[in-house]
Amino acid sequence: MWAEVSSPQDSGAWPARQTGSATGPDGGPQAADVSAGQARDGEQAESGAATSEAGPEAGPGTDPGAPQAPGRKRRKRSFLRELPILVVIALLLAVLIKSFALQAFYIPSGSMENTLEINDRILVNKIVYHTRDIHRGDIVVFNGNGSWDPGTIPVNGNVFQQFGAGFSSMFGFGHPGSILVKRVIGIPGDRVACCDAEGRVTVNGVALNEQSYLYPGSAPSLARFNVMVPPGRLWVMGDNRFYSDDSRDHMGDPGGGTVPESAVIGRAFVIIWPPSRWRILPIPATFTQPALSGSHAAAAGPVPQPAQAEATAGLLPTRAEPTGQTIPLALGFAGAIPLTWLQRRVRLRVRRRRRDGPAPGRAARPWPRARRGPVKLR
């Protein structure tokens, strides 16, 4: 009824396991074969571990004394494979930065002196006016087509049109238009006039103290004007008022000298070149007066005709010329390097998991994947 179980102390059990003479009920090998198989498995595991520590080149049949393949060639091949990806990502980032974030311009004339001097390089922020309105005192870069210069009023297209325009200008195609840079004096709804009893420009009846940014010795204006800025438009003037061709000299043009807000490309916020001229371009303190945002003047005074404005001979329009593609390309490559490294790490990790299976110590999938028909559980 009861099967006899031998204990380890049984002297007859040990010789069978050592010599491999033990047999099962069917006459086949039993414990000895299991012990021998475990020993072979252990030897194979030890040899496999030694092979993995020696590296992929030190496999069976490889002469340890033979010269190994240099890792420098492997790194060179890997770099050449990643280089096209790096270039493509850098170009895409450069176009995105130039189209939607930052663009550099240089100043070819002196009508914004001494704030901006000839050959200064400025950086224009294109994002800021998507997060806030245009403020008085901002230095803006805008397209003069359709207001001061012949042409149609520029309208910002959708994202794809802006990206296409940036891509075209990146490689020298397209027409940038008549690009100018001025300081915003009046925003929509403001009454801008000149001059008060002390010869100052006033906004909504509040005098501006402009000596901090006007060209030394330059009067606020020699022409008299009294205008109400229409909705969606801006009244802009240069800092070198004696030589600036600005809103005062275009009151006979469409818009009465004002420029549309849609023509604004962005805000100039820093001088980046030459190094001796590096500085931030802040909003002057006079434009932070709380009274400027008070109630506007009741009625507009008489608007002078173009003949009453200053003579335009010798005036400078302060055009801003786009610089080369060095800055967006440099920023694009700066952003492409970490992105290329990241995508390479992710790709190698995915490839390694597919090749080696789940990592050691991580539980395998507890249940089989769903499939048609009944699933047989073992």
Residues carrying an active site annotation? 111, 182
Structure tokens given for 215: 């060209």
**Residues β-bridged to residue 259:** 234
Cβ atoms of 248 and 221 within 8 Å: the answer is yes
- Sign of the torsion angle spanned by Cα atoms 282, 283, 286, 291: negative
CA–CA distance, 310 with 195 (Å, rounded to integer): 14
CA–CA distance, 224 with 209 (Å, rounded to integer): 17
Alpha carbon 188 to its chain's center: 31
Would you give the end-to-end CA distance of the chain in angstroms? 31
The DSSP letter of residue 281 is -
* DSSP run (H or E) holding 73: helix 71-96
Which burial class, exposed, middle or buried, applies to 20 when counting CB atoms under 10 A from its CB (0-12, 13-18, 19+)? Answer: middle
Please list, in sequence order, all residues whose beta carbon lies within 8 angstroms of the beta carbon of residue 23, skipping any fewer than 6 positions away: 29, 30
**Residues β-bridged to residue 142:** 180, 264
CA–CA distance, 52 with 305 (Å, rounded to integer): 89
